Amino acid sequence: MPRYTLKVEYHGASFAGWQRQKEHPSVQGVIEAALTKLEPRAHKIVAAGRTDAGVHALAQVAHCDLAKEWDAYRLSEALNFHMKGARVAIVDCARVDDDFHARFSALERRYLFRLINRRAPLTNDRGLAWHIKRNLDLDAMQAGADRLLGRHDFTTFRSTICQAESPIKTLDELRIEKHAIANGTEYRFHVRARSFLHNQVRSFVGTLERVGAGTWTPDDVTRALEARDRAACGPVCSPDGLYLAGVTYPTDPFA
């Protein structure tokens, strides 16, 4: 059966997450339902990572196996047609070798988190960014973020329901940018690693926001990391600002 990879963009507010669920809408369920319109049978697609409820994607990657050969462009167009009304889009599609696996072939995942600092409520960015009213210190947040880089036991920043076999991960990048926007400031957290624990990025950002607000210091981040205790974590922030921004493979399947 020919294998195809899909680059998927979605607005997570409409979904209970990526993974198919019986009683709640999911991104996987929407795409598999569209595939059934093209080839009437049960379909199962595999993603590079399972995003949680409310989390968005700019470039999720998934693969599927189909019964017949499709032109990649026509396949993406057909899927988008059958997903009209859902906040999901196939932005690229390619035929790949049978040994390509969206999850296991990936070398790294990249996440973006958007935090907007302003007094007024969010309107256009509501649901697309975490809204904070208090001013934040970028340099302090970056100093705290630097304490998390490298290979560590991230138990403190791991959800209690995380199913990963080990809390030990290597964090390759946690870089924060500050951008002036109309009536406020946007902070963008760029996070990169081979793989992540459940709620890890949201735990990072929630903790670093405490540093930026002045209630924590960078040394407190180190102490929390070394505690290896979920209770030592700062608050877990809203999923609104979190985006799966990209996935890297040995060879770009969409090149």
pLDDT per residue over 51-65, tens digit each? 999 999 999 999 999
Q: Say how far apart CA 145 and CA 215 lie, in whole Å.
A: 15
What is residue 176's three-state secondary structure? strand
What is residue 171's three-state secondary structure? strand
Whole-number Cα distances in Å, 77 to 36, 89, 124: 15, 9, 28
Taking the model in full, what pTM does it have? Answer: 0.96
Q: Is 52 an annotated catalytic residue?
A: yes
- To the nearest 10°, report the CA torsion of 68, 69, 74, 75: 60
Average pLDDT (174-180) is 97
Query: Are the C-beta atoms of residues 240 and 52 closer than 8 Å to each other?
Result: no
Which residues pair with residue 92 across a beta bridge? 7
Query: Are the C-beta atoms of residues 38 and 79 closer than 8 Å to each other?
Result: yes
Of 52, 92, 172, 220, catalytic: 52
- List the structure tokens of 19: 């993974």
Q: Do 3-104 and 108-246 show the same overall fold? A: yes
Domain spans, the chain: 3-104, 108-246
Tell whether the torsion through CA atoms of 164, 51, 112 and 251 is positive or negative.
positive
Tell whether the torsion through CA atoms of 16, 20, 21 and 26 is positive or negative.
positive
Tell whether the torsion through CA atoms of 196, 197, 200 and 202 is positive or negative.
positive
| Domain 3-104 CATH (choose: 3.20.20.105, 3.30.70.20, 2.60.40.10, 3.30.70.580) | 3.30.70.580
Rounded to 10 deg, the angle between the 72-82 and 27-38 helix axes is: 110
Cβ atoms < 10 Å from Cβ of 191: 24
Examine the pLDDT at 182 and tell me if it is beyond 90: no
pLDDT given at position 242: 98
Taking alpha carbons only, the member of 156, 148, 150 closest to residue 208 is 148
Q: Taking the CA atoms of the chain, what radius of gyration do you get in angstroms?
A: 19
- List the structure tokens of 93: 């599609």
Query: Are the C-beta atoms of residues 105 and 63 closer than 8 Å to each other?
Result: no
Task: Specify the pairing of strand 130-132 against strand 108-117.
Answer: parallel
What is residue 1's three-state secondary structure? coil
CATH topology of domain 108-246: Alpha-Beta Plaits (3.30.70)
Tally the residues of the chain.
255
pLDDT given at position 23: 87
pLDDT per residue over 58-92, tens digit each? 999 999 999 999 999 999 999 999 999 999 999 99
Query: Are the C-beta atoms of residues 240 and 129 closer than 8 Å to each other?
Result: yes
pLDDT per residue over 91-125, tens digit each? 999 999 999 999 999 999 999 999 999 999 999 99
Residue 22: pLDDT band by 50, 70, 90 thresholds? confident
- Residue 184 burial (CB < 10 Å; 0-12/13-18/19+)? middle
